[in-house]
Amino acid sequence: MKFVSTRDAGNVADFEKAVLDCMPSDGGLYVPKITADLRRWILYADANTSFASIAGTLTSACINDEFSPIICETIASKAFDFSPEVKKIDDRFYSLRLYKTPTGSHKDFGISFLVNCLETIHALKGGFSTFLDATIGELGASLARFLRGKKYVKAVLVYPKGKVRGLEEQDFVWNGGNILPVEIDGTEADCHKIVREIFAQRKLVEKFRLTVANTANIGRLMPQLFFYPYAFTRLKKEVYSDICYAMPCGNYSNLVAGLYSWRLSLPVNAFICPSTASLTLDPTGLCSVPDDMVPFEKRLPSDPASPSNLERLEDIFCRNSLMLKNFVYPANVSDFEADEACRELFMKHSIFADRNTAGAYAAIKKRRDFLEEDAAAVVLIERDDPSLSTEYVRHTTGIAPQMPQNVEQALREVKLAGKTLKNAQELVLLMENSGLLP
């Protein structure tokens, strides 16, 4: 499988280039150039097939022109000693929990896979990579967990002052670890600005071999398409109708990954989500992406610091507009309706739901017409441990979810002794003097 830029279909990259040099020079985002039919790869998988096995099989199917099946399966087995969890909630209603992970966040799937891909590439071919990401905690805790013991991949994490979370002494580069944490005298937006400024300087990107661990990197997004065939293997012996997935939009990564799964002919039938300003309903009630009226070439470059997968979604719409209008089902959900959905999930099903999950459940309720018409089963995607949204859950249901120890550890505040930085120039100087370069 090859990857092309959303801004220029002639800008073609193999998987290695797409994950190492993740931001195309034309300002777009890499997307898979999908021509394959992977149904046969999942045909014999069942409820006993592990997530790591499915991930390895599909990785091999996608990039077998670059890496052998053994290498692909090794990447997946190292990346995934945890898996999603499919639960039956009610008749034709299931949940797909993505938070049974080391830090309680769905991000762990993508970050672990990406880290192990990069480590494998460099172990085979030499070189190194450096993640440069702005974060207020979650991404940093996840990266720290999966970079431990790696030889060829490090990370520079840019935090607002006082927001460092989930790191241990062994993680710091000055202690032989792989994380260079940096506090900025400013806001999260200031952190994003600094990362953006550094990525805008091509010489610095090449010098430090910079990439990102967020979903601007197609290697971070790719493993999210494994969720859907995995859920299918758990459902195929008890669901004999269409299977629809309901999810919060977020930065559209899970939706885009699901649509890639569909384009690879893997078993998904439809998606339900709360509408946003950028993914909404047209006057006829069908899915619409208003921004697709503006040509990509007239836009600013994609943001490596705070990505949105909306451009990837628009890229899919440009190629399959008619199909997608009958495949993605947004629903207008108010805050009140989301709160009511949160209470209903708790009262009827004993499920704690954060605001995002509650919004997705409210969207299910508002699209009952479509679901009942096809007698479809629906799978609610729960991205993050509800204890990460304790205040919202307590305020809405009156009861706070218990925080697991691993989540508590990922949120543990870390005090740094170094000085705070003010700009990109100071960060570059620190990077040069911190042992990031071989």
How far apart (Å, rounded) are the C-alpha atoms in residues 72 and 266?
19
Q: Tokens 């940096």 belong to which residue? A: 182
- Across the range 264-279, mean pLDDT stands at 89
Q: Which band of pLDDT confidence, cut at 50, 70 and 90, is reported for residue 65? A: confident
Residue 218 confidence (pLDDT)? 96
- Over 80: is that where the pLDDT of 321 sits? no
Positive or negative, the Cα torsion across 292, 35, 330, 380?
negative
Portion of the chain with pLDDT greater than 90, in percent: 75
Q: Which amino acid is located at 399 in the chain?
A: I
Q: Which two tokens stand for residue 218?
A: 């197609």
* Distance of alpha carbon 87 from the chain centroid: 21
Give the chain's domains with CATH numbers. Answer: 107-218+414-432 (3.40.50.1100)
Residue 370 confidence (pLDDT)? 74
Residue 371 confidence (pLDDT)? 75
> CB neighbours of 346 closer than 8 A, spacing ≥ 6?
352, 353, 397, 399
For residue range 1-52, what is the model confidence (pLDDT) as tens digits? 899 999 998 999 999 999 999 999 899 999 998 777 888 888 788 999 999 9
Going from the C-alpha of 239 to that of each of 43, 62, 91, 114, the distances in angstroms are 16, 27, 10, 32
Q: Across all residues in the chain, what is the average pLDDT?
A: 92
Secondary structure (3-state) at 180:
strand
How far apart (Å, rounded) are the C-alpha atoms in residues 150 and 112?
12
- Across the range 389-418, mean pLDDT stands at 94
For residue range 235-261, what is the model confidence (pLDDT) as tens digits? 988 888 889 999 999 889 999 999 999
How far apart (Å, rounded) are the C-alpha atoms in residues 33 and 178?
33
Residue 319 confidence (pLDDT)? 64
Judge whether 75 and 117 are in contact, CB under 8 Å.
Answer: yes
- Across the range 205-232, mean pLDDT stands at 95
Residue 419 confidence (pLDDT)? 85
Secondary structure (3-state) at 103:
coil
Judge whether 140 and 179 are in contact, CB under 8 Å.
Answer: yes
- Across the range 330-352, mean pLDDT stands at 96
Q: Which band of pLDDT confidence, cut at 50, 70 and 90, is reported for residue 323? A: low
Q: Which band of pLDDT confidence, cut at 50, 70 and 90, is reported for residue 320? A: low
How far apart (Å, rounded) are the C-alpha atoms in residues 162 and 422?
14
For residue range 280-313, what is the model confidence (pLDDT) as tens digits? 888 888 888 887 777 777 788 899 998 889 999 9
Residues in the chain: 438
- Over 80: is that where the pLDDT of 58 sits? yes
- Over 90: is that where the pLDDT of 98 sits? yes
Q: Which two tokens stand for residue 171?
A: 């993680």
Q: Which band of pLDDT confidence, cut at 50, 70 and 90, is reported for residue 400? A: very high
Residue 359 confidence (pLDDT)? 97
For residue range 111-143, what is the model confidence (pLDDT) as tens digits? 999 999 999 999 999 999 999 999 987 899 999
Portion of the chain with pLDDT greater than 70, in percent: 99
Judge whether 424 and 132 are in contact, CB under 8 Å.
Answer: no
How far apart (Å, rounded) are the C-alpha atoms in residues 349 and 327?
28
For residue range 354-391, what is the model confidence (pLDDT) as tens digits? 999 999 999 999 988 777 777 889 999 999 999 999 99
